[in-house]
């Protein structure tokens, strides 16, 4: 005699152990159980994107405030081509230091991209070398920015005053370039730590080099922000 077939009601349908509850209860359950919130995106990469989004808002507010101040001030704004010019071998060259700084930072994006490429090839020596090269570019950029700051301070520019024109120039310059320089300095430390860990083989056992890509996201963001600062502050 054949055994009776099991009930076919919806209540008796077996559930997959990894199936999520629908709606908000399922989202709460996934997040509270430390599931990957975005399925194909790791927590590290997702959190870096969220951080970069918040940082985008801050830099946007800074640049918007700068443009508002510059357009509404009644005192003539200093000419960036004159303020940031250098005299080399008797020749007055406008924006030469800023051009070199921009070239160095953009070049660092190339070395960082190559580092990510070699990381996913599991070539830890080349990955670490390229990351340290990127960090060296960052150090060079911060060094040139320090020279730029010291030059303007020696010429009397302060956050509360400016002998060359509008007083808001000093406050805008030191706030925006200082905040960006802080990001570059943090990035140099971040890249150096990750590069040394890669070179030591800390990620060799697991084979997961995604931390290099996450560090690259941060560095590319810093480079992209500088493009906007360069365009709005130095070329306008």
pLDDT of residue 167: 87
Residue 112: count of CB within 10 angstroms of its CB: 29
pLDDT in tens, 59-112: 999 999 999 999 998 888 898 888 898 888 888 889 999 999 999 999 999 999
Residue 8, domain member (yes or no): no
> How is residue 158 annotated by DSSP?
B
pLDDT digits (tens, 9 = 90+) for 169-225: 999 999 999 999 999 999 999 999 999 999 998 887 777 789 999 999 999 999 999
Task: Give the helix ranges, DSSP H, for 155-209.
Answer: 168-200
Read off the tokens for 35.
Answer: 């599931």
The string of pLDDT tens digits covering residues 139-165 is 999 999 999 999 999 998 898 888 888
In this predicted structure, the answer to whether residue 229 has a pLDDT above a threshold of 90 is yes
Tell me how many degrees the CA angle 66-72-76 measures, rounded to the nearest 5: 90
List the domain range (segments joined by +) for residue 135: 41-234
Contact 183, 108 (CB under 8 A): no
Task: Answer whether residue 18 is part of any domain.
Answer: no
Q: Which pLDDT score is estimated for 9?
A: 46
Q: Is residue 74 part of a domain?
A: yes
Q: Is residue 166 part of a domain?
A: yes
Say which residues have a Cβ less than 8 Å from residue 102's Cβ, sequence separation at least 6. Answer: 226, 227, 230
Residue 230 has pLDDT above 80, yes or no: yes
Q: What span, in angstroms and rounded, lies between the C-alpha atoms of 46 and 181?
A: 24
pLDDT attached to residue 187: 97
User: Do the beta carbons of residue 218 and residue 50 sit within 8 Å?
Assistant: no
Structural domain total, the chain: 1
**E-assigned strand segments in the chain:** 86-88, 91-93
Give residue 228's pLDDT. Answer: 95
Res 11 pLDDT > 50: no
Single pTM value for the model: 0.81
Nearest to 116 by CA among 99, 134, 98, 104: 134
Q: What is the DSSP letter of 7?
A: P
Rounded CA gap, 101 and 109, in Å?
13
CA 224 to chain centroid, in Å, comes to 8
pLDDT of residue 32: 59
Q: How far is CA 153 from CA 48, 61, 126, 149, 177, in A?
A: 35, 25, 41, 6, 14
| 99 domain residue, yes or no | yes
Give me the CATH number covering residue 131.
Answer: 1.20.120.80
| Selected residue with higher pLDDT from 8 and 229 | 229
Is 20 part of any domain? Answer: no
Nearest to 185 by CA among 146, 227, 138: 138
Domain contains 10: no
Tell me whether residue 111 is in a domain.
Answer: yes
Q: Assign 27 a pLDDT band (cuts: 50, 70, 90).
A: low
Q: Name the DSSP letter for residue 234.
A: I
pLDDT digits (tens, 9 = 90+) for 28-61: 666 555 555 555 667 888 899 999 999 999 999 9
Coil, strand, or helix at residue 161?
strand
């Amino acid at each position: 005699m054949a055994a009776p077939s099991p009930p076919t009601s919806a209540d008796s349908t077996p559930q997959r152990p990894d199936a999520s509850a629908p709606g908000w209860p399922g989202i709460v359950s996934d997040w509270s159980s430390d599931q990957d919130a975005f399925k194909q995106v790791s927590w590290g990469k997702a959190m870096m994107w969220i951080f970069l989004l918040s940082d985008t808002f801050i830099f946007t507010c800074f640049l918007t405030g700068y443009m508002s101040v510059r357009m509404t001030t009644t005192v003539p704004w200093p000419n960036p081509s004159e303020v940031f010019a250098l005299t080399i071998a008797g020749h007055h060259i406008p924006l030469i230091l800023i051009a070199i700084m921009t070239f160095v930072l953009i070049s660092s994006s190339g070395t960082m991209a190559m580092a990510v490429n070699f990381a996913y090839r599991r070539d830890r020596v080349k990955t670490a070398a390229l990351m340290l090269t990127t960090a060296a570019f960052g150090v060079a950029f911060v060094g040139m920015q320090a020279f730029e700051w010291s030059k303007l301070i020696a010429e009397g520019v302060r956050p509360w005053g400016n002998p060359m024109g509008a007083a808001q120039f000093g406050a805008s310059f030191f706030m925006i370039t200082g905040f960006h320089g802080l990001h570059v300095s943090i990035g140099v430390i971040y890249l150096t730590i990750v590069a040394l860990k890669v070179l030591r083989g800390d990620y060799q056992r697991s084979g997961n080099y995604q931390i290099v890509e996450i560090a690259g996201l941060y560095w590319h963001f810093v480079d992209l922000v500088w493009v906007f600062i360069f365009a709005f502050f130095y070329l306008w």
